[in-house]
A and B are shown apart, each in its own frame.
Chain A
Amino acid sequence: MAADKVDPIHQFHINTIVPIHVGGYDLSFTNSALFMVVVVLLASGFLVFSTAGRALVPTRLQSISEMTYEFVASMLRDAAGNQGMRFFPFVFTIFMFVMVANLLGLFPYFFTVTSHIIVTFALSMLVILTVVFYGLAKHGLGFFKLFVPSGVPLILMPLVIAIEVISFLSRPVSLSVRLFANMLAGHITLKVFAGFVVSLGALGAVGIAGAILPLAMAVAITALELLVAALQAYVFAILTCMYLNDALHPSH
């Protein structure tokens, strides 16, 4: 196999662009950091630029911004009620960051920020810590009612509470693993199929005829990846909303 020629993992390699070492820690500016900056600039730049006109009858770009806003706002309102709207900036930022990072990663030679678990894990820890701290600040010890389902016999209580606590702690893990693994698997699949096209194409006329199939697959997977990129941003955002709802209304 042409494994060394077509290396599907190579695209996730982190390269140092500007080496920075502070007190033994490697704080270098890498390609991952570069693309995070690009994502933030692109997302905020787009929103600022498209809403700059503030037309009563929106232009197409303004319409896109407004639809995104409405989409996230209604998602948050449905999941966490009107009270949840105080978290709107947080949820909207996460949604935009994840979606733009996912979509940007689909460009050839671009680095996919969300394909690294440390990035998605940091995002999901941010969500869960917000839930825990806000829940504790708002409800005090009442927040722990989240782990006590109503109507459970007293004997089973310790077991149920332990399971609920583990279930709660597994949320950031599953949230981050889902986003990271979706992006990673999608990009590897895409790269492998595209690699087949190149490898088969080198075999001559028969190979070129045979390369049509993986080429069609690569095109189809690109479309699927586009869907997955948007869907995963949506899933991440709506799960954030649901967890925030637990912070607002901790009763089970």
Chain B
Amino acid sequence: MADENGPAGTGKTGPDSGHDAGIRDEDLERRRRELEASLAPPDRLEGKGATRAGPAVGYGQAFKLSSEFIAAIAVGVGIGWMVDRLAGTSPWGLIVFLLLGFGAGILNVLRSAGLVAVSERAKKLRSGPDK
């Protein structure tokens, strides 16, 4: 595995390293990282599972999305119920947090399906070197 910080990392790029000998190491490293970032699917995990078709994987995908959705609603209901119990605002806490949980569930599902656009800042941060 190429080390992100070490100069030895670029030596592992294979046969191309001899061809690109004129280009400086950092430049090559930076360009490689940019290419990786642009080639990478919008999500980190799900891209691997989603591209592989098959009944078992489809089942897994369905299971994952539904569990994400239900978990967020359950957490929303839990928070709302606790707020109601502590503040005595029944039933408003439950209503508000159920709806918020619903929103969070949608966000979870979209995020886990890789449909939420990753912001430019996050992209830069991810592709940048670890400090």
Q: Which of A81-100 contact B (CB under 8 A)?
A: 81-83
A238, B47: Cα distance in complex, Å:
13
Q: Is the CB–CB distance between B67 and A163 below 8 Å?
A: no
Q: Cβ of A239 < 8 Å from any Cβ of B?
A: yes
Question: If the complex has contacts A74-B1, A77-B1, A249-B126, are A238 and B119 also in contact, measured as CB distance less than 8 A?
Answer: no
Question: If the complex has contacts A170-B72, A170-B74, A177-B70, are A224 and B107 also in contact, measured as CB distance less than 8 A?
Answer: no
Q: Cβ of A252 < 8 Å from any Cβ of B?
A: yes
Checking B3, B64, B75 against A170 with a beta-carbon cut-off of 8 angstroms, the contacting residue is B75
Q: Cβ of A20 < 8 Å from any Cβ of B?
A: no
Q: Is the CB–CB distance between A150 and B119 below 8 Å?
A: yes
Contact with A along B52-65 (1 / 0, CB 8 A): 00001000100110
Q: Cβ of A174 < 8 Å from any Cβ of B?
A: yes
Q: Which of A150-187 contact B (CB under 8 A)?
A: 150-151, 159, 162-164, 166-167, 169-171, 173-174, 177-178, 181-182
Q: Cβ of B76 < 8 Å from any Cβ of A?
A: yes
Q: Cβ of A119 < 8 Å from any Cβ of B?
A: no
Q: Is the CB–CB distance between B103 and A163 below 8 Å?
A: yes
Checking B45, B108, B121 against A251 with a beta-carbon cut-off of 8 angstroms, the contacting residue is B121
Q: Is the CB–CB distance between B72 and A166 below 8 Å?
A: yes
Tell me the minimal C-beta distance from B108 to chain A in angstroms: 6
**Which secondary structure characterizes the binding site on chain A?**
helix
**How many residue pairs at the A-B interface have CB separations less than 8 Å?**
91
Q: Which chain B residues border A238 with CB–CB below 8 Å? A: 45
A55, B101: Cα distance in complex, Å:
54
Q: Which chain B residues border A164 with CB–CB below 8 Å? A: 104, 107
Q: Which chain B residues border A224 with CB–CB below 8 Å? A: 56
Q: Cβ of B5 < 8 Å from any Cβ of A?
A: yes
Closest to B116 in A: A149
Q: Is the CB–CB distance between A163 and B5 below 8 Å?
A: no
Binds B, one of A44-52, A102-110, A227-235: A227-235
Closest to A172 in B: B71
Checking A173, A227, A228, A251 against B75 with a beta-carbon cut-off of 8 angstroms, the contacting residue is A173
Closest to A162 in B: B100
Q: Which of B13-61 contact A (CB under 8 A)?
A: 44-45, 56, 60
Q: Is the CB–CB distance between A83 and B130 below 8 Å?
A: yes
Q: Cβ of A79 < 8 Å from any Cβ of B?
A: yes
Q: Is the CB–CB distance between B72 and A167 below 8 Å?
A: yes
A169, B72: Cα distance in complex, Å:
8
Q: Cβ of A242 < 8 Å from any Cβ of B?
A: yes
Closest to B72 in A: A170
Q: Is the CB–CB distance between B56 and A170 below 8 Å?
A: no
A-B contact pairs, 30 of them (CB 8 A): A77-B1, A81-B4, A82-B5, A83-B130, A150-B121, A162-B100, A163-B100, A163-B107, A164-B107, A166-B72, A166-B76, A166-B100, A166-B103, A167-B72, A169-B75, A170-B68, A170-B104, A170-B105, A170-B108, A171-B71, A173-B75, A178-B64, A178-B67, A224-B56, A239-B45, A242-B44, A249-B125, A249-B126, A251-B122, A252-B121
Q: With A166-B79, A242-B44, A252-B122 given, name 12 new contacts (CB 8 A).
A: A79-B45, A81-B130, A164-B107, A167-B72, A170-B72, A174-B72, A177-B70, A177-B71, A235-B45, A238-B45, A242-B45, A252-B121
